[in-house]
């Protein structure tokens, strides 16, 4: 019953802290094949940040296009195999980007030491050997991927993370300067992932003083960032959002997410909707489960002049809705947390379909 969770080994936080990467990595240079494998969000190709990546000639820097597809097991296998067959095992894997690139970096680090396809390891504690040293640098904040024990991958059968202690980054660099360029819409949707993490973590049977302490602080920051007098995508608020994202992630690691994330996984799996946006699509209709959270979320949308699409389900086929409901229903740990151990008495495929039909 008591979770024994692994945290990030080292964290550096602050404006300009990206500059400390070279010094941090220098200790690792001589490990394994003596080269670093950098995975970097394509957005930074040709930008100033590219010139600040401390890569030497022997290192490999790969730019990753994360749109529209979220990370897949095939992509992880391909990235690993290309490097393994040409250069061997790197000394470190470094992920610079949002949840997508950070999850890729976490998964690739594990797959350098675990044989076969990453699809074999989707689930809890299926990974057999520790991965190699991996360092994460978020450039968009909200998912909590920088701190979580999972690397979410879409596989041929399921969208499910490689989840274990070894997934967690050895080192994270939190530099709020890096999220300044995030466009307004993504700033909101991704930040709302943090907000929803906290609401879901707080409202369920696994919440306790430990998870609550993180959620409470993260929610306070979210309210300042999205509803306060100084609300908006400013430097001060970027400083706060990076911390809110981390703390939201820590809260749910000790507690759990709930109804919204279950539905969101269905939307991502069947329609390929991005995680944070899918959460927003679902959360607006969950007033029965999270009345205060949904009301406050709607105030945030109004404040930032974002309107989410309505009536989407009219265009969906019945089979698609049924498929999404099955994806959501199978996330039993989320329902258990949100509804309680007897959740199957209240939640059925049909009741989940009804929730999708609200969208």
Residues that bind ligand NAD (CB under 6 A): 41, 43, 66-67, 70-71, 97-101, 103, 139-140, 143-145, 148, 150-152, 178-179, 181-182, 186, 190, 275-276
Q: Are strands 159-163 and 123-124 parallel, antiparallel or unpaired?
A: parallel
Question: Nearest to residue 281, comparing CAs of 354, 352, 195, 189?
Answer: 189
Maximum CA extent, the chain: 60
Shortest separation between residue 187's beta carbon and ligand NAD, angstroms? 9
Shortest separation between residue 113's beta carbon and ligand NAD, angstroms? 19
- Which H/E stretch holds residue 174? strand 171-174
Shortest separation between residue 344's beta carbon and Zn ion, angstroms? 24
Per DSSP, the three-state class of 307 is: coil
Give the span between the Cα atoms of 40 and 123, in whole angstroms.
26
Shortest separation between residue 147's beta carbon and Zn ion, angstroms? 12
Q: What is the dihedral of CA 297, 300, 306, 308, to 10 degrees?
A: 10
What does 280 bind: Zn ion, ligand NAD, none (CB cut-off 5 to 8 Å by kind)? none
Phi, psi (degrees; rounded to nearest 5) at 295 = -65, -45
Shortest separation between residue 145's beta carbon and ligand NAD, angstroms? 4
Q: Is 20 exposed, middle or buried (0-12, 13-18, 19+ CB in 10 A)?
A: middle
Shortest separation between residue 99's beta carbon and Zn ion, angstroms? 8
- The residue among 139 and 336 lying less far from ligand NAD, judged by its C-beta, is 139
Chain centroid, CA 269 distance in Å: 15
Give the span between the Cα atoms of 153 and 99, in whole angstroms.
11
What does 83 bind: ligand NAD, Zn ion, none (CB cut-off 5 to 8 Å by kind)? none
User: Is residue 70 a contact residue for Zn ion (CB under 5 A)?
Assistant: no
- The residue among 265 and 329 lying less far from ligand NAD, judged by its C-beta, is 265
User: Is residue 193 a contact residue for Zn ion (CB under 5 A)?
Assistant: yes
Using the rule CB under 5 A, give the single segment among 14-22, 85-93, 133-141, 189-197 that binds Zn ion. 189-197
- The residue among 150 and 170 lying less far from ligand NAD, judged by its C-beta, is 150
Give the span between the Cα atoms of 274 and 131, in whole angstroms.
27
What does 152 bind: ligand NAD, Zn ion, none (CB cut-off 5 to 8 Å by kind)? ligand NAD
- The residue among 43 and 265 lying less far from Zn ion, judged by its C-beta, is 265
- The residue among 90 and 191 lying less far from ligand NAD, judged by its C-beta, is 191
- The residue among 25 and 182 lying less far from ligand NAD, judged by its C-beta, is 182
Which residue in the block uniquely carries the two structure tokens 């274990």? 164
User: How many chain residues touch Zn ion (CB under 5 A)?
Assistant: 1
What does 66 bind: ligand NAD, Zn ion, none (CB cut-off 5 to 8 Å by kind)? ligand NAD
Shortest separation between residue 266's beta carbon and ligand NAD, angstroms? 13
Give the span between the Cα atoms of 300 and 358, in whole angstroms.
20
What does 148 bind: ligand NAD, Zn ion, none (CB cut-off 5 to 8 Å by kind)? ligand NAD
Q: Is 317 exposed, middle or buried (0-12, 13-18, 19+ CB in 10 A)?
A: exposed
Q: How far is CA 141 from CA 74, 271, 295, in A?
A: 26, 23, 23
Shortest separation between residue 298's beta carbon and ligand NAD, angstroms? 21
Per DSSP, the three-state class of 141 is: coil
User: Is residue 200 a contact residue for Zn ion (CB under 5 A)?
Assistant: no
Give the span between the Cα atoms of 272 and 270, in whole angstroms.
6
13's tokens: 């936080």
Q: Give the interface with Zn ion as residue ranges (CB under 5 A).
A: 193
């Amino acid at each position: 019953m008591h979770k024994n969770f692994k945290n990030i080994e080292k964290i550096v936080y602050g404006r300009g802290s990206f500059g400390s990467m070279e010094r941090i990595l220098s200790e690792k240079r001589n490990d394994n094949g003596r080269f670093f494998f950098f995975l970097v969000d394509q957005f930074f190709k040709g930008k100033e940040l590219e010139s600040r990546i401390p890569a030497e000639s022997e290192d490999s820097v790969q730019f990753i296009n994360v749109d529209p597809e979220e990370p897949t097991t095939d992509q992880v296998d391909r990235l690993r195999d290309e490097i393994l067959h040409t250069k061997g095992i790197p000394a470190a894997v470094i992920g610079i980007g949002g949840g997508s690139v950070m999850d890729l970096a976490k998964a690739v680090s594990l797959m350098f030491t675990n044989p076969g396809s990453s699809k074999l390891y989707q689930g809890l504690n299926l990974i057999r050997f520790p991965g190699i040293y991996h360092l994460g640098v978020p450039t968009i904040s909200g998912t909590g991927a920088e701190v979580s024990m999972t690397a979410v991958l879409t596989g041929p059968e399921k969208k499910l993370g490689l989840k274990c202690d070894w997934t967690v980054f050895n080192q994270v660099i939190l530099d709020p300067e890096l999220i300044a360029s995030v466009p307004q819409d993504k700033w909101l949707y991704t930040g709302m992932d943090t907000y929803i993490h906290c609401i879901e973590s707080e409202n369920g049977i696994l919440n306790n003083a430990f998870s609550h302490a993180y959620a409470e602080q993260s929610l306070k920051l979210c309210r300042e960032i999205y509803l306060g007098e100084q609300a908006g995508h400013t430097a001060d608020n970027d400083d706060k959002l990076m911390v809110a994202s981390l703390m939201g992630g820590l809260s749910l690691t000790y507690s759990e997410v709930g109804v919204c994330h279950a539905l969101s996984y269905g939307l991502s799996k069947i329609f390929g909707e991005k995680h944070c946006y899918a959460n927003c699509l679902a959360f607006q209709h969950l007033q029965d489960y999270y009345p205060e959270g949904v009301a406050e979320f709607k105030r945030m949308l109004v404040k930032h002049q974002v309107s989410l699409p309505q009536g989407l389900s009219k265009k969906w086929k019945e089979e698609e809705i049924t498929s999404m409901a099955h994806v959501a229903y199978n996330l039993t740990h989320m329902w258990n947390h949100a509804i309680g151990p007897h959740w199957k008495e209240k939640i059925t495929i049909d009741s989940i379909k009804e929730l999708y039909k609200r969208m």
